[in-house]
Amino acid sequence: MRSGFPVARRGMVIGLLGGSFDPAHEGHVHITREALRRFGLDRVWWLVSPGNPLKARQPAPMAERIAQARRLMDHPRVVVTDLEARMGTRFTAATLKGLKARYPGVRFVWLMGGDNLVQFHRWDRWEWIMQTVPIGVLARPGSGVKGRLGRAARVYARERVSEAQAERLGHIPAPAWVFADVPLKALSSSAIRARGDWGRSGTPGMPPE
């Protein structure tokens, strides 16, 4: 990855988990492992965001978040990247456009927790995203209860793929999305920040020493 851009071969299926990772925690690790297993992914790339366009709060410096995420997410098929900062994008649609141009022949799958599906219709060019890449949604406490999946799920209800077909997700033409009912982990970056041990404890999500 000398250029800062990870290597990917044609035909690979790569899951993209975008996030603030401020800080990364065991919930991110958990959904990444579940996504690798359930969606037939060759790799997952964590896209550490320069800043979520819908969040007013500025996150911790990119270098700190990347370093902490790499310490936590140690897996041969997972890459923690600052691709969005390198490409100068922060909206997901722009990121996907850039990645598709840079990696022809690679199949991307967008990954997100159920909380993001609920507000997905507020994202820039969300319908274009839906029609461009398959989406794997992972259950999160407080989201995914019947009737609370949000507008995007309603508009694209017929494009929902069953969990039994999820292993082929990267090969199903968009629009296609799966809601994976993974075991729930009630961890969040905001709770860790509120506790105030981010930056002091080596492992967010664990009690400070």
Ligand X SMILES: Nc1ncnc2c1ncn2[C@@H]1O[C@H](COP(=O)(O)OP(=O)(O)OP(=O)(O)O)[C@@H](O)[C@H]1O
3-class state of residue 113 by DSSP: strand
Closer of 92 and 104 to ligand X (Cβ) = 92
Asked if 47 is part of the footprint of ligand NCN (rule: CB under 6 A), the reply reads yes
103: number of Cβ within 10 Å:
18
Structure tokens at 59: 């996150």
Per partner kind, with CB cut-offs from 5 to 8 A, the member of ligand X, ligand NCN, none near residue 43 is none
Closer of 6 and 167 to ligand NCN (Cβ) = 6
The closest of 153, 156, 86 to 115, measured between CA atoms, is 153
Per partner kind, with CB cut-offs from 5 to 8 A, the member of ligand X, ligand NCN, none near residue 194 is none
199: number of Cβ within 10 Å:
11
Which strands make up the sheet holding 135-138, listed edge to edge? 78-81, 43-48, 13-19, 107-113, 135-138, 177-180
Per partner kind, with CB cut-offs from 5 to 8 A, the member of ligand NCN, ligand X, none near residue 85 is none
Using CB under 6 A as the binding rule, the residues of this chain from 97 to 156 that contact ligand NCN are 116, 123-124
Q: How far is the CB of 104 from ligand X (least distance, A)?
A: 26
Asked if 92 is part of the footprint of ligand NCN (rule: CB under 6 A), the reply reads yes
Task: Say how far apart CA 18 and CA 30 lie, in whole Å.
Answer: 15
Asked if 81 is part of the footprint of ligand NCN (rule: CB under 6 A), the reply reads no
Instruction: HSE, CB side, 13 Å, CA atoms: give it for residue 201.
Output: 17
3-class state of residue 78 by DSSP: strand
Here's the x/- map for ligand NCN, 160-179, by CB under 6 A: it reads as: --------------------
Residues that bind ligand X (CB under 6 A): 17, 19-22, 27-28, 31, 112-113, 115-116, 138, 140, 185, 187-190
Bond prior to 183 in cis (omega within 30° of 0): no
Instruction: Tell me the residue number closest to ligand NCN, measured at CB.
Output: 18
Q: How far is the CB of 76 from ligand NCN (least distance, A)?
A: 23
Biggest alpha carbon distance in the chain?
Answer: 49
Structure tokens at 28: 């991110």
Asked if 19 is part of the footprint of ligand NCN (rule: CB under 6 A), the reply reads yes
Per partner kind, with CB cut-offs from 5 to 8 A, the member of ligand NCN, ligand X, none near residue 69 is none
- Residues in contact with ligand NCN by CB under 6 A are 18-20, 47, 49, 52-55, 90-93, 116, 123-124
